[in-house]
Amino acid sequence: MSQLSIDSLSKAYGPVQALRDMSFEVRAGEIFGFVGSNGAGKSTTMRIVLGVLAADSGEVRWDGRPLDLHVRRRIGYMPEERGLYPRMRVGEHLVYLARLHGMSRTAAVAAMEHWTDVLGIDARRGDEVLKLSLGNQQRVQLAAALVHSPDILVLDEPFSGLDPVAVDVMSQVLRDQAAAGVPVMFSSHQLELVERLCDRVGIVRAGSMVAVGGIDELRSTPERRWEVDGPAPDDWLARVPAARLVSSEPASGSSAGTGAARRSVVEVANPDLADVDQELLAAALAAGPVREFARVRPSLVELYRHVVSSDESPAASDRTPAEVTA
């Protein structure tokens, strides 16, 4: 199936290296979350995909071939800096954009009516864009990206400024597009939403892709953690030298007094140790009854903080991203 491939893109603005060998792919029928701090290179990458910027080196391909003008016309793009004409009415604006993509007037009107219905702005078709709320302008901007039935969706911060209802509407639209086989790529700082919505995620730091893969694969970090609800003695973990106590607090329903059950988070840094979970459980049981014993995986927010706060410079690193190809 067709996919969008970003291969070793580099881009500099004078002395500032905006992208360093940026590589990843967005597969047909998947939603790909593109996350990173401000200035990490997300928008620059998207603009190169669109052909708005030229890369210093590297290539963007669709279905194994370099992107040409025909393919780029089949991309639905939503820029971070909204590009609507404020004095145009919503309906005529969307018809105008559809016509620019080569659609007949009849098809353009039908597409406008469909997407304004889906996005809940059908009652605003006759309103000037500038008279809409920020959230409704955002919906019009998404409709503009969708009105020509694109083969690829590239959305820069599409959820910025939306209320929860609008987020739900837009999320469902992206799911529907992916289900129809469209590769969907979007950037966002709302990591809980990214974790909930995306099939795969790429984390960017200082112009380089430092981690890319499925949510579950990215959360399977080398440091293994367990949550233990049970033994109260502080020294029970001494039986497992490879483990360290990350946190400990009174368990739910327990008082803070001596002998009270505690909920502890334990970490083992060496992923190669066999049966360490059995050692931990045995040590906990030897110290007292265990009510719960479970593996803990970091959230995308925790993983992101760890990755972007790393002291190691991407330019100096000889490691490849934590990539999952399955």
Q: pLDDT of 22-80, one tens digit each?
A: 999 999 999 999 999 888 999 999 999 999 999 999 999 999 999 988 899 999 999 98
The pair phi, psi for residue 67, each rounded to 5°, is -65, 130
State the chain's mean pLDDT as an integer: 86
For tokens 């990173």, what's the residue? 36
First to last CA, the chain: 15
Distances (CA, A) of 205 to 41, 211, 237, 275, 322: 8, 9, 36, 35, 13
Structure tokens that stand for 226 in this block:
């367990």
- What one-letter code names the amino acid at 264? S
Q: For the domain 3-219, what is the CATH code?
A: 3.40.50.300
Least confident of 9-13, 278-282, 287-291, 318-322: 318-322
Residue 145, CB half-sphere, CA atoms under 13 Å: how many? 29
Please, what is the Cα angle at 71 between 6 and 58, to 5 degrees?
A: 25
- What one-letter code names the amino acid at 66? P
What confidence score (pLDDT) does residue 318 get? 35
CA 284 to chain centre: 37
Domain pair 3-219 / 224-296, same fold:
no
Specify burial of residue 324 (Cβ count, 10 A radius: 0-12, 13-18, 19+).
middle
Contacts 24+ apart (CB under 8 A), 196-200: 197/31, 197/33, 197/171, 198/31, 198/32, 198/33, 199/30, 199/31, 199/32, 200/27, 200/30, 200/31, 200/32, 200/33, 200/324
Distances (CA, A) of 55 to 22, 45, 59, 153: 11, 9, 8, 20
Which residues are 205's β-sheet partners? 208
What confidence score (pLDDT) does residue 217 get? 82
Q: Say if residues 204 and 40 touch (Cβ distance below 8 Å).
A: yes
Q: Where are the domains of the chain?
A: 3-219, 224-296
What confidence score (pLDDT) does residue 219 get? 73
Mind listing the pLDDT tens digit for each residue in 75-106? 999 998 878 999 999 999 999 999 999 999 99
The CATH architecture of the domain made up of 224-296 is 2-Layer Sandwich (3.30)
